[in-house]
Chains A and B, each alone.
Chain A
Amino acid sequence: MRVGVTVFPGSNCERDALFAIERAGALPVELWHADGDLRSVDAVVVPGGFSYGDYLRPGAIARFSKVMTTLEDFAKDGGPILGICNGFQVLTEACLLPGALLRNVGMRFLCCSVTLRVETIKTPWTSLFEPSDRLVLPVAHNEGNYFADPWTLDELEAEGRVVLRYLDNPNGSSNDIAGICNAERNVVGIMPHPERFSDLTLGSVEGLKVFESVLSFVGTRV
């Protein structure tokens, strides 16, 4: 199984994601932003970092890169996509996910561990969790404050499209939202970093399940 990781200029968690994917048992594949080729991957991670320096707005420039056009087709075909942190921001800018990520209410960059609740297991990236599972994952962001208009929030809630929710909201996100999915449920964006908790040497493997989930999902789909 092949899982791709997009690399934009300024991405900085791509190697961490590639490492976690390998640990989960898949073949990690680097997808350079200027290539329009997804190299026959089965799933794609859009990693964290500061694509294009977060200049203008996080994700606002990366969404115009060549790889994103290909990724839009991949999403339409039901391909599983996970945006982590800056990746989530890119996916909202690309309108693959609704809403936007504003600056943290504390107006500071925040790097710490947060406790989350898994709100739905009906996505490729959470399929191996149990509903309402609690997990602790690191966050590291300046703009993680999820915002959407009330109608969109109602829709997300009604359709069970909130994927992860903070138990102790660190950034002011609406409805304590830490992650959401699209209506088709194949595109997921989350602010926490599961790739950072995918190795016991670092104290936790709670995040590894996210990558194992997609492998299991793709495995059963084939």
Chain B
Amino acid sequence: MSIQEVYSSLGLSDLEYDRILELMGRVPNYLELVMFSVMWSEHCGYKNSRPLLKRFPNKGARILQGPGENAGVIEVGKGWALVFKMESHNHPSAVEPYEGAATGVGGIIRDVLAMGARPIALLDSLRFGPLEEERNLYLFREVVRGIGGYGNAIGVPTVGGEVEFAAAYSGNPLVNAMCIGLVRAEDFLQACAVGEGNLVVLFGAKTGRDGIHGATFASDELTDESEKKRPNVQVGDPFAGKMLVECSLDLLKKNLLVSLQDLGAAGITSSASEMAAKGGVGIEIDIGKVPLREMGMKPWEIVISESQERMLAIVKPTDAEEVLRVVERFELGAAVIGRVTGHGDLRILHEGEVSGSVPARYLADAPVYEREVVAPEYLEEVQKRLDLEKVSRPQDYNAVLLRMLAHPNLCSRRSIFEQYDHQVGTNTVILPGADAAVIRIKGTALGFAVTTDCRGRHCYLDPRGGGVASVAEAYRNLSCVGAEPVAVTDCLNFGSPEKAGPYYQLAACIEGMAEACEALGTPVVSGNVSLYNETEEETVYPTPTVGMVGVFEDVGCRATPSIKRGGDEILLIGNFRPVLGGSEYLEIVHGSVTGTPLRTDLAAEKEVYDAVRRAISAGVVDTAHDLSGGGLAVALAEMALPGGIGVEARLLPEGRQDVALFGEVGGCVLLAVPEEKLGELKMLLEEVHYTRIGYTGGNRLKLSRLVDLELSELGKAYERDLFERHAPEGGYLG
């Protein structure tokens, strides 16, 4: 094999190989080339996204740690801090859904653990192709099982998330997992190797061949060949993961670690070189000391193995013995595999010889590609194609609403979240199914809320606007439970950056998100980029998932969508100007993904959301729900169904009633308030526009003269089991 064939097979380009030659000043050996190839993959090196990511704001009053570490950190109060991050596991889940999803959960838990925090909540943002296709249903079922299989066993509650279905995700599902950890603000760690002579300890599971080249696999598009890469998918062991969490936290409590790092993509190579580069030191790894689970592994395999449930720690030589003793108590393996040196290289030793040695900072410094941002042609075309005159008006509004509520994009998520333990830890104050999950912090009145949101179809039709609206939606969801939004983690799922369309979508979505994060005061503190999400036939919708965290001074003052009393007045807060472009209604009922979706007026929307939060924090409002996918009719049904208390509302705008009922709008929130609290509420709303649209009570949903349905009938449509077989046309199965 020629040298060119060698580096090409590792995924390195000619340009990249030349750069390696230049940096090293010599021809690298195979081991060194392998280390470069994994560290310079898109997954580890952010080659295409780094310049764009600079656009995100990342500073704020509560921000203790921004991007660049294993996870971001924000201050909550009373000395507590939250650590959080989101990461994708798309490609592994496409070929081996159970293990792909399970190890995605395990991986994000260890990112948070590496910051010294106890992982206390998980969320998952999922995308699949339509469930009528057997393969998509299989992927969906197994991914949900995998998330539960890992999360339930490790004892971290899965408290929320989202799922959507669209043809663009057929064959390339998206599996994004988010984890939140709790730590004392003064105790969080940075993964930085310091102290020449300190020892490197690898602990947890043994190292095998699983996951070799996972990082490179994740940085390529999916083809028929991908099935053969099934061995590239790691296998998770949540039991070992649980022991690793408890063991790491015990080591930290006993003050035995200088630094801690998880092993994820690119294994030892990534963890050790990142720690060395950050600390400005070198690390020597004696490959013969790494505990192995299979025979005959070559040094290059050992240094990039992605075997799960392992952590790397820097410890003082005097503490090493005690560290090994603690690890043994948790029935895990551990070995001193190396030491911190002054030479600045990641150096791999094997049987007393140097097998490879590369300055750590070179590995951390992947080349950066800046490309021209050109708007793709499809955009104007799909936006223009919507002609409202040609969208027929519903004959039967009841039937339309039932059909929409039964659609997989809008129906109840109960059949999913009941498979996740969402209560372990006894901190979950608002369970899944509300606008955001709410978690309390034991021993204080404090709490936090968390949500994941992304408007994929919107991002496809209008990438910049979709980026703005995705952040705004997360901000709105947190506000609707009463939390003050603080910061964002993101997971940017896109197609190949080497193609003009996906690259434009990436750049434009980031631009929109950054604009919204600035306007709303929610900086981005951590994140992950997943590119090459495409098959030979299809590219995914641009899907920049937003994970947003907000805080409560008093978690006792909160709201949920569920109507709690009859006789409450229903108020629509904000300027109600719904549009059909890019709406669920247009896709579900008219089979069309076209038009210009809703526009976000960030300043005006922020006023609405902040006013809603004021009212909830003051204890005046306990029932709030945002207007989102499916529009006003779906939102009111979602408020009525959980408590079994009906709604009678009249509609406001002139013109097409299907637009009013099912059109989508940003910046609007529904509240249900007892009459005696209206006065107080009006004061708290200040200048914010509101409309009184109806009352709660009875057991029917009545909207003007168009919709009149018993809640039990709505419930039958809404509470469907997503894992049961689906009607071919995706219609209402009731």
A12–B556 Cα distance when bound, in Å, is 26
A202 at the interface (CB under 8 A from B): yes
Q: Which residue of B lies closest to A195 (CB)?
A: B426
Q: Which residue of A lies closest to B331 (CB)?
A: A9
Q: Which residue of B lies closest to A140 (CB)?
A: B421
Contacts of A12 in B (CB 8 A): 153-155, 242, 424
Contacts of A201 in B (CB 8 A): 429, 440, 555-556
Q: Is the CB of A10 within 8 A of B242?
A: yes
Q: Which residue of B lies closest to A14 (CB)?
A: B155
Scan residues 70-94 of chain A and give those whose CB is less than 8 A from a CB of chain B: none
Q: Which residue of B lies closest to A16 (CB)?
A: B426
A24–B377 Cα distance when bound, in Å, is 66
In the complex, per-residue mask of A97-121: 1 if CB is within 8 Å of any chain B CB, else 0: 0000000000011111000000000
Contacts of A198 in B (CB 8 A): 426
Q: Is the CB of A108 within 8 A of B419?
A: yes
Q: Which residue of B lies closest to A138 (CB)?
A: B423
Q: For B152, give its contact among A140, A196, A202 (CB under 8 Å).
A: A140
Q: Is the CB of A10 within 8 A of B153?
A: yes
Chain A interface size, under 10 / 10 to 19 / 20 to 34 / 35 or more: 20 to 34
A4 at the interface (CB under 8 A from B): no
A142–B145 Cα distance when bound, in Å, is 11
Q: Is the CB of B424 within 8 A of A16?
A: yes
Contacts of B556 in A (CB 8 A): 201
B238 at the interface (CB under 8 A from A): yes
Q: Is the CB of B242 within 8 A of A111?
A: no
Q: How many residues of B contact A (CB 8 A)?
A: 31
B239 at the interface (CB under 8 A from A): yes
Q: Is the CB of A10 within 8 A of B239?
A: yes
Q: Is the CB of B152 within 8 A of A50?
A: yes
Contacts of B238 in A (CB 8 A): 50, 53
B459 at the interface (CB under 8 A from A): no
Q: Is the CB of B424 within 8 A of A140?
A: yes
B551 to chain A, nearest CB (A): 16
In the complex, per-residue mask of A5-37: 1 if CB is within 8 Å of any chain B CB, else 0: 000011011011001100000000000001000
In the complex, per-residue mask of B399-432: 1 if CB is within 8 Å of any chain A CB, else 0: 0000000000000000001111111111111000
B483 at the interface (CB under 8 A from A): no
Q: For B423, give its contact among A53, A109, A193 (CB under 8 Å).
A: A193
Q: For B426, give its contact among A9, A10, A49, A196 (CB under 8 Å).
A: A196
B129 at the interface (CB under 8 A from A): no
Q: Is the CB of B155 within 8 A of A199?
A: no
Q: Is the CB of A109 within 8 A of B239?
A: no
Knowing A9-B331, A49-B155, A54-B153, say if A199 contacts B423 (CB, 8 Å): no
Scan residues 284-322 of chain B and give those whose CB is less than 8 A from a CB of chain A: none
Scan residues 428-442 of chain B and give those whose CB is less than 8 A from a CB of chain A: 428-429, 440, 442
Contacts of B422 in A (CB 8 A): 111
In the complex, per-residue mask of B236-279: 1 if CB is within 8 Å of any chain A CB, else 0: 01111011000000000000000000000000000000000000
A52 at the interface (CB under 8 A from B): yes
B422 to chain A, nearest CB (A): 6
A55 at the interface (CB under 8 A from B): yes
Q: Is the CB of B421 within 8 A of A109?
A: yes
Scan residues 144-160 of chain B and give those whose CB is less than 8 A from a CB of chain A: 148, 152-155
Q: Is the CB of A202 within 8 A of B424?
A: no
Q: Which residue of A lies closest to B417 (CB)?
A: A111
In the complex, per-residue mask of B327-356: 1 if CB is within 8 Å of any chain A CB, else 0: 001110000000000000000000000000
Q: Is the CB of A111 within 8 A of B330?
A: no
Scan residues 126-140 of chain A and give those whose CB is less than 8 A from a CB of chain B: 138, 140
Contacts of B239 in A (CB 8 A): 9-10, 50, 52-55
Knowing A54-B153, A201-B555, say if A140 contacts B242 (CB, 8 Å): no
Q: Which residue of B lies closest to A12 (CB)?
A: B155
Contacts of A54 in B (CB 8 A): 153, 239
A39 to chain B, nearest CB (A): 18
B29 to chain A, nearest CB (A): 40
A195–B427 Cα distance when bound, in Å, is 11
B246 to chain A, nearest CB (A): 8
- Most chain-A CB neighbours within 10 Å: which of B417, B420, B421? B421
A127 to chain B, nearest CB (A): 23
A77–B699 Cα distance when bound, in Å, is 56
B257 to chain A, nearest CB (A): 21
Q: Which residue of B lies closest to A170 (CB)?
A: B418
Contacts of B440 in A (CB 8 A): 201-202
A20–B420 Cα distance when bound, in Å, is 22
Q: Is the CB of A13 within 8 A of B152?
A: no
Q: For A19, give its contact among B148, B240, B426 (CB under 8 Å).
A: B426
Contacts of A20 in B (CB 8 A): 426
Knowing A50-B238, A53-B153, say if A9 contacts B243 (CB, 8 Å): yes
Q: Is the CB of A50 within 8 A of B419?
A: no
Knowing A55-B239, A195-B426, A196-B426, say if A111 contacts B418 (CB, 8 Å): yes
Contacts of A52 in B (CB 8 A): 239
Q: Is the CB of A110 within 8 A of B153?
A: no
In the complex, per-residue mask of A195-208: 1 if CB is within 8 Å of any chain B CB, else 0: 11011011100000
Q: Is the CB of B153 within 8 A of A111?
A: no
B634 to chain A, nearest CB (A): 24
- Most chain-A CB neighbours within 10 Å: which of B152, B417, B419, B420? B152
Contacts of A112 in B (CB 8 A): 418
A110–B556 Cα distance when bound, in Å, is 28
In the complex, per-residue mask of B707-727: 1 if CB is within 8 Å of any chain A CB, else 0: 000000000000000000000
A38 to chain B, nearest CB (A): 19
B594 to chain A, nearest CB (A): 38
A142 to chain B, nearest CB (A): 8
Scan residues 164-210 of chain A and give those whose CB is less than 8 A from a CB of chain B: 193, 195-196, 198-199, 201-203
Q: Is the CB of A140 within 8 A of B153?
A: no
Closest A-B pairs by Cβ, 10 of them: A12-B155, A53-B239, A50-B153, A16-B426, A140-B421, A109-B419, A111-B421, A109-B148, A196-B423, A10-B239
B residues touching A (Cβ–Cβ < 8 Å)? 148, 152-155, 237-240, 242-243, 329-331, 417-429, 440, 442, 555-556
10 A-B residue pairs with Cβ-Cβ distance under 8 Å, sorted by A, are A9-B242, A10-B243, A13-B155, A109-B419, A111-B419, A111-B423, A140-B423, A142-B152, A201-B440, A202-B427
Known contacts A9-B242, A16-B425, A202-B429, then 13 further A-B pairs from the complex at CB < 8 Å, ordered by chain A residue:
A10-B243, A16-B426, A50-B153, A50-B238, A53-B239, A54-B153, A109-B418, A111-B418, A111-B419, A140-B424, A196-B426, A201-B440, A201-B555
